Amino acid sequence: MRSPGFTADFGELWPWESMPAAQQPEWREHAAYGEVCRTLASAPPLVTVAEIQHLRWSLARLLTAEALILQAGDCAESFYECTEPHTTEKLRVIDTLGDRLGDLADRSVIRVGRMGGQFAKPRSQATERHGELSIPSFRGHMINSEIAAPPTRQINPRRMLWAYDASGKVLRAMREHRRGYGRMTALAGPWSSHEALVIDYEAQLVRRDSDTNDLYLTSTHLPWVGERTRHLDGAQVALLASVVNPAGCKIGPTATPDDVLHLCETLNPRRELGRLMLIPRMGRDRIQDVLPPIVRRVVNAGHPVIWVSDPMHGNTVKSPEVGLKTRYLADVITEALQFRDIIEENRQHAAGLHIEVAASDVTECIGGSVKGEDDLLRHYSSLCDPRLNVDQATELIEAWAKGVATRQA
Ligand code: PEP
Ligand code: CO
């Protein structure tokens, strides 16, 4: 059954179908594949046109210093943590951090969760070692299991249906939470976001609005394209270029000013306000060299870009002693502040932060009460990248907001 407002588009060749898609699970031969895709194609949309339009309108305010954004959540969501209490707890953390940022910077803060669909991970290595064994890497609950015992790392397209159901649960709880804000809803969110990675899944949830004929990605409010899949001629960029949702794009240290300008032209050819968010994630040691010429090129071309810092993904290290991935809070803060300075030197608004943060008191990043590598072992539960705990995220936000407040004075 189709939902009111959306029409089916059977038989059309979509722009992304003729583009190569990086980082895809090879499951098209699986017996369940066809049925899963048909089921998703006829499933109700997870988000509405009105919500997406609302978010676009809110995001346009990030082009000036009027508002800030906090995009936060797990690196990879877990199917086991999509219950209403789990979602409420995650939203409480985003609210606590958003409120702190808003109070210190004296700005309203748009809240966006890395949640309600963040179930697929791009991986640099196809396999990982477990003692003597080499097994396929964990690629997010939409694709395989985190359990490191063969054969449970097999990919399974049915997981796309489970991801859809899990997202639905989270999104319903987020909608309830949004209602609780009352009149503040106009700005605050919380909105959903995830990396639009698995084309089989995302493509089935693209729908045409029968009033305007526009395409919407109905799996989330704010999809983004990751550093490993931001190819101009890639399927993920083509998909996000085809829909009217606001779109994010990560920008890593190998990006050139030309690459980024072309991404702006592809993802926002009509230069619409509130449409494109660029999320540099350069690393503390690279940002000073790489980001300034990119920002200059984009600004000189007159592209209205929302600039958001991901100070985490360029600062991941493997701890030599305990062998776990970690990040030093000091590096994260350094990159975030360098980002803000670079953006402001170019007379643009440094709109906010994109961070990985846990709702529980994890010890995955080093800083604050997590003093060294040995402390990492105390409570390390991330399915993928190391997340800040709430105290560490608060320290980052306070450092960021201090600069904003000083500039205002
Ligand atoms: C992520 O956000 O978890 C991620 C994989 O980021 P990036 O694409 O920037 O590496
Ligand atoms: Co991550």
For residue 75 and ligand 1, the question of a CB distance below 6 A is answered with: yes
- Determine the pLDDT at residue 244: 97
Residues 6+ apart with CB under 8 A from 249: 224, 225, 230, 237, 240, 263, 267, 276, 277, 278, 279
- Give the atom of ligand 1 at the shortest distance from the alpha carbon of 354: 2
Confidence of residue 404 (pLDDT cuts 50, 70, 90): low
Percent of the chain with pLDDT over 90: 87
Residue 309 to residue 176: CA distance in whole angstroms: 28
Q: Whose CA is nearest to atom 4 of ligand 1?
A: 226
CA atoms within 13 A on the CB side of 65: 12
For residue 313 and ligand 1, the question of a CB distance below 6 A is answered with: yes
Higher pLDDT: 277 or 151? It is 277
| CA 176 to ligand 1 center in whole angstroms | 28
Could you tell me where the DSSP H helices lie in 271-323? Answer: 287-300
Confidence of residue 407 (pLDDT cuts 50, 70, 90): low
Residues 6+ apart with CB under 8 A from 242: 14, 15, 16, 206, 215
Cα-based angle 393, 399, 403 (whole degrees, multiple of 5):
145
Which of 124, 385, 387, 388 for a ligand 1 pocket mutation test, highest count of atoms within 8 Å of Cβ?
385
Q: What is the pLDDT of residues 29-62, one digit of tens each?
A: 999 999 999 999 999 999 999 999 999 999 999 9
CA 108 to chain CA centroid, nearest Å: 21
Task: Give yes or no for a contact between 213 and 238, defined as CB atoms under 8 angstroms apart.
Answer: no
CB atoms within 10 A of CB 235: 24
Q: What's the average model confidence in pLDDT over 270-282?
A: 98
| CA 384 to ligand 2 center in whole angstroms | 7
CB atoms within 10 A of CB 379: 14
| CA 141 to ligand 2 center in whole angstroms | 14
- Give the atom of ligand 1 at the shortest distance from the alpha carbon of 250: 9
Ligand nearest to the CA of 227: 1
Residue 129 to residue 397: CA distance in whole angstroms: 36
| CA 122 to ligand 1 center in whole angstroms | 8
Specify if 10 maps to a domain: no
Q: Whose CA is nearest to atom 10 of ligand 1?
A: 227
**Residue 406 clears pLDDT 60, i.e. is over it:** no
Ligand nearest to the CA of 195: 1
- Give the atom of ligand 1 at the shortest distance from the alpha carbon of 230: 8
- Determine the pLDDT at residue 180: 79
Q: What's the average model confidence in pLDDT over 138-145?
A: 97
**Residue 9 clears pLDDT 90, i.e. is over it:** no
**Residue 186 clears pLDDT 90, i.e. is over it:** no
Domain CATH for 80: 3.20.20.70
Query: Which amino acid is present at 170?
Result: V
Phi, psi dihedrals of residue 187, rounded to the nearest 5°: -115, -40
Confidence of residue 405 (pLDDT cuts 50, 70, 90): low
**Residue 5 clears pLDDT 80, i.e. is over it:** no
Specify if 85 maps to a domain: yes
Specify if 388 maps to a domain: yes
Q: What is the pLDDT of residues 49-103, one digit of tens each?
A: 999 999 999 999 999 999 999 999 999 999 999 999 999 999 999 999 999 999 9
For residue 248 and ligand 1, the question of a CB distance below 6 A is answered with: no
**Residue 6 clears pLDDT 60, i.e. is over it:** yes
Specify if 12 maps to a domain: no
> Hunting for tokens 């904003």 — which residue is that?
404
Q: Whose CA is nearest to atom 3 of ligand 1?
A: 75
Confidence of residue 402 (pLDDT cuts 50, 70, 90): confident
Tokens of 200: 């089989």
- Give the atom of ligand 1 at the shortest distance from the alpha carbon of 195: 2
Residues in the chain: 409
**Residue 185 clears pLDDT 90, i.e. is over it:** no
Confidence of residue 149 (pLDDT cuts 50, 70, 90): confident
| CA 123 to ligand 1 center in whole angstroms | 9
For residue 275 and ligand 1, the question of a CB distance below 6 A is answered with: no
| CA 74 to ligand 2 center in whole angstroms | 8
Ligand nearest to the CA of 120: 1
- Give the atom of ligand 1 at the shortest distance from the alpha carbon of 227: 8
Phi, psi dihedrals of residue 38, rounded to the nearest 5°: -65, -40
Task: Give yes or no for a contact between 248 and 277, defined as CB atoms under 8 angstroms apart.
Answer: yes
- Determine the pLDDT at residue 130: 81
Specify if 7 maps to a domain: no
For residue 139 and ligand 1, the question of a CB distance below 6 A is answered with: no
DSSP states of 327-362: -BHHHHHHHHHHHHHHHHHTT--EEEEEEEB-SS--
Specify if 2 maps to a domain: no
Query: Which amino acid is present at 390?
Result: V
pTM of the model: 0.96
Specify if 126 maps to a domain: yes
Residue 116 to residue 165: CA distance in whole angstroms: 10
Specify if 209 maps to a domain: yes
Task: Give yes or no for a contact between 403 and 370, defined as CB atoms under 8 angstroms apart.
Answer: no
Confidence of residue 183 (pLDDT cuts 50, 70, 90): low
Q: Containing domain of residue 244, as a range?
A: 19-402
What total of structural domains would you count in the chain?
1
Confidence of residue 107 (pLDDT cuts 50, 70, 90): very high
| CA 35 to ligand 2 center in whole angstroms | 31
